[in-house]
Amino acid sequence: MGERVRLCGHVAHVRRLGRIAFIVLRTFENMEQITVKKGEVPEEVWSLANELDHEYFICAEGRLVESNIAKAGRELFPDHIEILSRSKTPPIDLFGKVEAEFPTRLHYRYLDIRRPRVKAIFRVRSTVVRAAREYLFSQGFVELHFPIIIATATEGGANLFPLKYFDREAYLAQSAQLYKQSAVAAFGRVFAIGPSFRAEKSRTRKHLTEFWQIDVEKALTSNDELMEIQFNLVKHIYRRVADENQRDLEILGVEVEVPKKYYRITYDEALDILRRKGVQIEWGEDFGADEERILCQEFDQPFFIEGFPAKETAFYYMVSRENPKYSLRIDFMGPGTYGVEWSSGGMREHDPSRLRQRMVEQGLDPEKFGWYLDMFNYGVPPHGGFGMGVERVLQTLLKLEKIHEAILYPRTPDILEP
Choose between 33 and 154: whose C-beta lies nearer to ligand AMO: 154
The closest of 385, 54, 53, 382 to 217, measured between CA atoms, is 385
What is the Cα 152 distance to its own chain's centre?
25
The DSSP 8-state label assigned to residue 402 in this structure reads S
Find the binding residues for ligand AMO in span 117-156 (CB under 6 A): 155
DSSP assignment string, 190-252: EEEEEEEE------STT--SEEEEEEEEEES--HHHHHHHHHHHHHHHHHHHHHH-HHHHHHH
Choose between 26 and 206: whose C-beta lies nearer to ligand AMO: 206
Least distance to ligand AMO, CB of residue 175, Å: 4
Q: In what order do the strands lie in the sheet with 341-347?
A: 142-143, 189-197, 210-219, 383-389, 341-347, 329-333, 303-306, 263-266
Least distance to ligand AMO, CB of residue 392, Å: 4
User: Does residue 181 interact with ligand AMO by CB under 6 A?
Assistant: no
Give Cα separations from 25 to 32, 67, 222, 370, 410 (angstroms). Answer: 5, 16, 53, 59, 28
Q: How far apart are CA 36 and CA 22, in angstroms?
A: 7
Please, what is the angle between helix 116-138 and helix 223-244, to 10°? 140
Q: How far apart are CA 334 and CA 341, in angstroms?
A: 6
Question: Which helix or strand (DSSP H or E) is residue 266 part of?
Answer: strand 263-266
Binding residue (CB under 6 A) for ligand AMO from 211, 238, 287, 338: 211
Least distance to ligand AMO, CB of residue 319, Å: 14
The closest of 96, 102, 156 to 410, measured between CA atoms, is 102
Point out which span in 6-14, 26-34, 208-216, 304-312 binds ligand AMO (CB under 6 A).
208-216
Choose between 211 and 376: whose C-beta lies nearer to ligand AMO: 211
Choose between 76 and 328: whose C-beta lies nearer to ligand AMO: 328
**What ranges in 16-175 are assigned the alpha helix state H?**
43-51, 102-107, 109-112, 116-138
β strands within 1-88, DSSP E: 3-17, 20-26, 31-37, 57-66, 74-85
Least distance to ligand AMO, CB of residue 240, Å: 19
Choose between 49 and 330: whose C-beta lies nearer to ligand AMO: 330
Binding residue (CB under 6 A) for ligand AMO from 177, 221, 245, 412: 177
User: Does residue 207 interact with ligand AMO by CB under 6 A?
Assistant: yes
What is the Cα 166 distance to its own chain's centre?
33
User: Does residue 46 interact with ligand AMO by CB under 6 A?
Assistant: no
**Helix/strand number for the chain, H first, E second:** 12, 16
Give Cα separations from 14 to 20, 41, 52, 81, 317 (angstroms). Answer: 11, 17, 7, 14, 59
Least distance to ligand AMO, CB of residue 354, Å: 17
User: Does residue 175 interact with ligand AMO by CB under 6 A?
Assistant: yes
Choose between 185 and 208: whose C-beta lies nearer to ligand AMO: 208
User: Does residue 99 interact with ligand AMO by CB under 6 A?
Assistant: no
Size of the site for ligand AMO (CB under 6 A): 22
User: Does residue 198 interact with ligand AMO by CB under 6 A?
Assistant: yes
Point out which span in 15-23, 112-120, 200-208, 370-378 binds ligand AMO (CB under 6 A).
200-208
User: Does residue 345 interact with ligand AMO by CB under 6 A?
Assistant: yes
Binding residue (CB under 6 A) for ligand AMO from 213, 245, 396, 412: 213
Please, what is the angle between helix 267-276 and helix 289-297, to 10°? 90
Show the binding pattern over residues 324-343: x = contacts ligand AMO (CB under 6 A), - = does not: -----------------xxx
Show the binding pattern over residues 373-402: x = contacts ligand AMO (CB under 6 A), - = does not: ------------xxxxx-xx----------
Point out which span in 17-25, 70-78, 204-212, 279-287 binds ligand AMO (CB under 6 A).
204-212
Choose between 9 and 345: whose C-beta lies nearer to ligand AMO: 345
The site for ligand AMO (CB under 6 A) is made up of: 155, 175, 177, 198, 200, 207-208, 211, 213, 341-345, 385-389, 391-392, 403
